[in-house]
Amino acid sequence: MESNRELFAKSCFVFTMVRGLNLTIEEDIRLRLKDYEVGFSSFRILWILFFAEQMTMSDLSEISQTNISNVYRQLLKLKDNDLVDIKSGEDARIKEVSLTNKGQTLVHHFIDEKSTFPDFQLSSILATVPREDIDKFIQVGSILSSKLIGGNFINFAKNISQTIVKNDNSI
């Protein structure tokens, strides 16, 4: 049985690895977004909306793991660039957000391009890792994310992956 100190040490190790992966992957995406004239934070919002069709700002905040004021700032930029629509919901305090055709086209093009010509470091490295190891990593990551962030988050992440595979070139 592992001691509390050993479990804490492992949790610190997992945190450090995840943080490093996150920063490296974000930088890889930032480099690929230069051709799209949109920053990473804005693209993350577009990405989420592409797979959700419509969301409230609160749901967007939960899925993007960003506070609501950051989400709102990004949405205003995206609205100014005609990439999202923001409408009042049934309750005036609730804003419903969706992609415009221009926003849908941007994300669709990104997915199509990166699926056809994969140039992300992570994709290249994953191609060299045995499938069962990737599946185990995904299983453990899913358990941790579900327990720490919640079921909505992990279900959304699974939906994205399944939709990309299922729709191949016809998203």
Cβ–Cβ under 8 Å, residues 79 and 71: no
**AA identity, residue 94:** I
Residue-wise pLDDT tens for the chain (171 aa)? 789 999 999 999 999 999 999 999 999 999 989 888 899 999 999 999 999 978 998 899 999 999 999 999 999 999 999 999 998 866 666 789 999 999 999 999 999 888 877 788 888 899 999 999 999 999 999 999 999 999 899 999 999 999 988 876 544
Q: Quote the CA–CA distance of 97 and 65 in Å, as a whole number.
A: 17
Containing structural domain, residue 59: 4-167
> Could you give the number of structural domains in the chain?
1
Q: Among 44, 26, 38, 48, which residue's Cα sits nearest to residue 80?
A: 38
User: 64 near 75, Cβ under 8 Å?
Assistant: no
**Nearest CA to 28 among 120, 108, 114, 110?**
120
pLDDT at 99 (0 to 100): 96
Residue 128 has phi, psi (to 5 degrees) of -100, -5
CATH of the domain at 83: 1.10.10.10
- Residue 168 has a pLDDT of 66
pLDDT of residue 143: 94
Q: How far apart are CA 128 and CA 87, in angstroms?
A: 45
Q: Rounded to two decimals, what is the model's pTM?
A: 0.86
In angstroms, the CA 135 to CA 120 distance is: 19
Q: Are strands 54-56 and 84-88 parallel, antiparallel or unpaired?
A: unpaired
**What are the residues whose beta carbons fall under 8 Å from the beta carbon of 157, sequence distance 6 or more?**
142, 145
